[in-house]
Amino acid sequence: MRKDSITTPTSQDSKAMAIMDCLVGKFTPFYFVITMGIGISAMVLHEFPIDCIRKGSKYVGIVYFFINIVAFCVIHILFFLRYMIWFHRYGDGQETFLKMIRNHQLSVFLGTEVMGSTTIINMIRVLEPGWYYFTYTLWVINCIFALLCAWVLVFVMLSNLCEFKLSDLIATIYLPVVTIMVAASSGSSINQTLTEYPTWQFANCIICYMLWCNALFMGCILFPVYFQKQYLTGLPTKANVFSTFIPVGILGQGSYGIVIAFNNFKEMLERGHYESFFLGINVSEPDKLRNFIASFLHLSSVLIALFLLSMGVCMTMLAIFSIISYGNPGVWVKSMWAATFPLGTMSTGFTALFTYTGLTGFQVMGTIYGTALILITTYCIIGTIVFEIPWKQMKEIIFESRDIEKMV
């Protein structure tokens, strides 16, 4: 009796540890893309371009938001276990967090962690507009991580700390850079809740615009590198072909960010908080200049957003052609997650243009991209649950343990 009381807990502990090994040993930073995809799907569902659909879809968006919270927590637990606590148990026993940073094929996905966090912050802002102190604090912290992710990871890839061949280069190199664009857009959205503090709001507008410019500049540097690789070595492998959607993300998010940012400037002018826009210049007729600047901001934001979205549509079609060229991708390819966030950014970009221009064509495009996003995200959630979780191995561990206990 005493022997059984000691043996049984030990058996249960080893069984639980074996199951954890199945989950943690398989984990890579790629899975952070799940929170990014589900997060933007929740946002698009909550802010769907068509009013009659949005009345019901916003509740589905809230469900997706809580699913994302669960996924966010689980994935972070697995990440800390894999690279900071139990790293000695897997691979060569030396795959620490710092070593992972030097592996560009893994470290770039840290950008998806930051973007996933941003989608959660955006939904908190939408669901609880009065929590602007809380959401702004979260945004500042997230913004710091975005800058660290972009600047540090780009530096590591440029330095001799990380070695790779041109043939190894795929569109995932955009992921660290897109984090800044997402942070800029999120900050501009949060900025809309700071109307009671015009000085604070104006300063934040400047910061968000600088972040937007930084991200666009770094993205423009990467476009020639990406296309050079495509021309010289051809398309990515079939397993990675869905990564061709990733460049769409910075274009769609950039269009959304510039529309929101310039609209914030415009609304500040219309409320009379326009002295800062004159930058110390003496103006004899400030009202006329205010109206001119407001009109200029509105028109320029639309033109810039259209420029980026037109490129985004082009890159979307190139990605679709790339996938078609390989034929049937199979029942499940986990890189399908790479298509979710870029499609969502295009939907939010077109929807923002519809909101500020009223042109139905933008609403239609936002709906097309939004519908595609929701369909592929839902499919990816199901595919991840069915194919990525090692059910077979866990089942074998559980039943094998039961058989051993019966024999004993």
Q: What DSSP string describes 73-92?
A: HHHHHHHHIIIIISGGGSTT
Q: Which amino acid is at 42?
A: A
Could you read off the pLDDT of 252-275 as tens digits, one per residue? 999 999 999 999 988 888 777 655
Residue with tokens 């710091």: 144
pLDDT recorded at residue 4: 39
Can you tell me the distance from the alpha carbon of 298 to that of 263, in angstroms, rounded to the nearest whole number? 7
pTM comes to 0.90
Residues 334/384, Cβ–Cβ less than 8 Å:
yes
pLDDT the model gives residue 405: 52
What is the Cα–Cα distance from 46 to 58, expressed in whole angstroms?
Answer: 4
Q: How many residues does the chain have?
A: 408
Q: Which of 180, 157, 329 is nearest to 243 (CA)?
A: 329
* Alpha-carbon radius of gyration of the chain: 24
Task: Report d(CA 285, CA 265) in Å as an integer.
Answer: 19
Q: What's the fold here for domain 14-397? A: Glycosyltransferase (1.50.10)
Quickly list H helices, 95-197. Answer: 97-101, 104-107, 110-127, 132-158, 175-191
pLDDT for the residue numbered 401: 54
How would you write the pLDDT of the chain (408 residues) with one tens digit per residue? Answer: 334 333 334 456 677 888 888 889 889 999 999 999 999 999 999 999 999 999 999 999 999 999 999 999 999 999 999 999 988 888 776 778 888 888 888 999 999 999 999 999 999 999 998 898 999 999 999 999 999 999 998 888 887 666 666 667 788 989 999 999 999 999 999 998 888 888 888 889 999 999 999 999 999 999 998 898 888 888 898 989 999 999 999 999 999 999 999 999 888 887 776 555 555 555 556 677 778 888 889 999 999 999 999 999 999 999 999 999 998 888 999 999 999 999 999 999 999 999 999 999 999 999 999 999 999 999 999 999 999 998 888 888 887 655 555 545
What integer pLDDT is reported at residue 7 of this predicted model?
A: 36
Q: What per-residue confidence (pLDDT) applies to 285?
A: 64
Give the DSSP per-residue string, 349-389. HHHHHHHHH--HHHHHHHHHHHHHHHHHHHHHHHHIIIIIS
Helix/strand number for the chain, H first, E second: 14, 0
